[in-house]
Chains A and B, each alone.
Chain A
Amino acid sequence: MDILFSAFEILLRWDVLIALLIGSCGGVVIGAIPGVGPAVAIAIILPATFSLEPIVGLTLLLGIYGSAMYGGSIPAILINTPGTPVNALTTYDGYPMTQRGEGRRALSLAYSASFFGGVFSILCLILLSPVLAYIAPMFGSREIFLAALLGIILVITAHKGQMFAAAMMASLGIFVQTVGMEPIKYSKRFTFDQSWLTGGLNLIVVVLGLFAISQAILLLVEEDKRAKAVKVTGGLFQGLKELGKHKRIAAVSASFGVIMGMIPGVGEFTSQFLSYTYAKGSSKTPEKFGKGSTEGLVASETANNAVPAAAMIPLLALGIPGEALTAMMLSVFYVHNVNPGPTLFQNHLDFVIALYISLLLLNVLVLIFLIFSTNSLLKVIQIPSRFLGMSILILSFVGVYSLRNSFTDCAVAAGFGIFGFILKRLDLPIVPIILGMVLGEIMEGKLRTSMMSVKSPIDFINRPIAFILFTIIILVILLQVRTLWKNLKKR
């Protein structure tokens, strides 16, 4: 109980509450604009949060992260264009409902399902926190190394049909993080005698290039698009009642979201896919799926909104980000010399609970905001895509230049922007590069530390958690080899 009071004390400050309000409402707007998305917004705003206190900065970023998918469902349902990539599945059933004249009902149901997913996930995590506080200290250097390795492997294997490309990008990320002065032996790595490379390539600069500048270039180069005007009439409250008819699907989908969100590299897409498959399999009318099924809509929206809170678990408990957005948030901790990991749950449980309560509050704020502002948001969707590209390019400057006022950083970001643009054109994955950089650094440091106390390789896995993680890694690799072999035989 004391921890709960202490958490409220951290939260109930005007700057934190303003950050929460701006983050949650801003996140909805950003999510509603196809072509922007939370990754671009977080990348741009990240350096500006470095001057804020960790709780203020993180609340702002969490607000954007947790609310963008709510906004993303609006264009997905009304104009068949997902606002964020994870809203793609929402178009399957949301848009056919709009075509039937049930756009208002679809939106209302999507908001309610998203709200349920978000709240369910946060409540699970608040209840799980004492367990995590107990387990997290059992993670030493070797366990964190193995968890990071598992994270990289899962990120690669999660890219079905693009596994080799994902492995190529993760390797690039691992290599890029090694460039510059090595911190233990003080030897230079791949600097080609260039002084600007001695300090290494800054993660934020790379992130801004790969996510924000690349997106700006993509919008500027491609054909100009402008969404059609749509108007939603009537109230948006009935979805909460209607969700009651789909309690089972909502609960199962939210559980999938929580479990998948906790596993590094898996996230929204897998949880949505599993939830949708479950909902279709257990439905009395599976033939309606993809043609405007309310069950399908509930499954996809509940699952994707249950992920953000759960994705904070590996970050906070182990210091291991599971995807690009949490990797960006990790840098906020680092800038303020706060090390997320086992000690955070042990010594600052109130801080962790405060973050979860802020997530809970943001879900309430977003729901209220959406009920009253949906029609105004429809105007935002209509911003022409090239104008949006121009705005993102101008905004990207703030992100990169405010870091160190360096032209070199901007040139590096522009270079990564072109590279990211090419990857987006080819539909190749970008996230593994960022995770390769973050997890590569963690693996390098933790392997070095853990090997000091290890005499033979078998000692490395002589602790229970290390052994379990090692077994999971072997199983995941064996399963992938088996799948590849089967696919090869089919050809």
Chain B
Amino acid sequence: MKNIKSGNLLFAILFTIISAFLISQFPDQIKWFKKTKLTSQPALWSAIGLIGMTFFSLIHLLLNFRTSNFKTELKEGIIWIRSVEFAGWFLLYVILVPNIGYLFATILVAPALTYRVGYHDKVMIACSIITGLFIVLIFKTFLEVKIPGGAIYEFLPNTLRSFMILNF
């Protein structure tokens, strides 16, 4: 066995509960077809996946049961919850892009996030703005990836609007 990190028991418990819940939903969430071979049943591979998830998570749970400490497990759980904040930053960025445009959203979110994670000096903030600008130029301007223009661009004069929609 590898060195067990704290949090494994908590993870195993949560994973087992979710797997068991999904198994309990099996009759409602999947259709069983009569006069159809087992290998052609749409339910077969969902069942294989779910049974595997439940069975192996139970073993993982048993393996971690004796070696875990409640306090450190809880501490690790709190770190997991902290990660939700950064997923939130990501989604905020996703919401901002179609409204204020890719360029403005990027040069707004990048320095704000840089400030949030502890870099308060001007150099790092400037670096984050340059990084954001560079990313926009590479992906939107040069590689022309499909990112729509921001709703804010509608307020711009015609020629500038199409330039901004195409490039930023």
Contact = CB atoms under 8 A, between A and B. Distances in A.
Contacts of B94: 397, 401, 407, 410-411
A70 B86 CA distance: 31
A334 to B, nearest CB: 18
B145 interface: yes
Among A178, A387, A389, A390, the one with the most B-chain Cβ atoms within 10 Å of its Cβ is A390
A426 interface: yes
Interface in A402-430: 402, 405, 407, 410-411, 414-415, 417-418, 421-422, 425-428
B25 A448 contact: no
Contact of B139 (A170, A187, A398): A398
B122 interface: no
Given A221-B86, A440-B45, A414 B91 contact: yes
Contact of A164 (B37, B51, B63, B117): B63
Contacts of A173: 49
Interface stretch (A115-123, A189-197, A474-482): A189-197
Interface residues of B, number: 71
A394 B57 contact: no
Given A164-B60, A190-B46, A447-B39, A414 B145 contact: no
A192 B30 CA distance: 10
Nearest to A409: B94
A384 B11 contact: no
A415 B94 CA distance: 14
Interface stretch (A74-82, A212-220, A346-354): A212-220
Interface string A377-409: 000000010110111011111100110010100
A283 B76 CA distance: 44
A71 interface: no
A428 B118 contact: no
Contacts of B48: 171, 174
Interface in A246-304: none
B79 A189 contact: no
A222 to B, nearest CB: 9
Given A190-B30, A397-B97, A418-B80, A184 B39 contact: no
B167 interface: no
B90 A171 contact: no
A178 B89 contact: no
Interface residues of A, number: 69
A407 B97 CA distance: 11
Contacts of A387: 114, 117, 119, 124, 127-128
Given A167-B52, A386-B117, A418 B8 contact: no
Given A164-B56, A398-B135, A190 B147 contact: no
B5 A425 contact: yes
A192 B29 contact: yes
B7 A426 contact: yes
A165 interface: yes
Contacts of B91: 407, 410-411, 414
B86 A217 contact: yes
A425 B110 CA distance: 25
B80 A425 contact: yes
B56 A171 contact: yes
Contact of A426 (B8, B22, B52): B8
B40 A384 contact: no
Contacts of B109: 394
A464 interface: no
Interface string B143-157: 111111000000000
A83 interface: no
B119 A386 contact: yes
Interface in B25-73: 25, 29-31, 33, 36-37, 39-40, 42-46, 48-53, 55-57, 59-60, 63
A53 interface: no
A451 interface: yes
Contact of B114 (A390, A427, A444, A451): A390
A164 B59 contact: yes
Contacts of A178: 42, 45-46, 49
Interface in B68-96: 76, 79-80, 82-84, 86-87, 89-91, 93-95
A448 B38 CA distance: 9
Contacts of B93: 393-394, 397
Interface in B122-143: 124, 127-128, 131-132, 135, 139, 143
Contacts of A179: 46
B75 to A, nearest CB: 11
Among B8, B46, B76, B132, the one with the most A-chain Cβ atoms within 10 Å of its Cβ is B46
A389 B63 CA distance: 33
A72 B71 CA distance: 37
Given A171-B48, A389-B117, A394 B135 contact: yes
B67 to A, nearest CB: 13
Contacts of A100: none
14 contacts: A48-B139, A48-B143, A51-B144, A161-B1, A161-B2, A165-B60, A167-B52, A168-B57, A170-B52, A187-B42, A216-B90, A397-B97, A418-B87, A448-B39
Interface of A: 47-48, 51, 161-162, 164-165, 167-168, 170-179, 182, 184-185, 187-192, 213, 216-217, 220-221, 224, 384, 386-387, 389-391, 393-398, 401-402, 405, 407, 410-411, 414-415, 417-418, 421-422, 425-428, 436, 440, 443-444, 447-448, 451
Given A174-B45, A184-B40, A426-B8, 12 more contacts: A48-B139, A161-B2, A164-B59, A216-B86, A221-B82, A391-B135, A394-B110, A397-B93, A405-B147, A444-B44, A444-B45, A451-B39
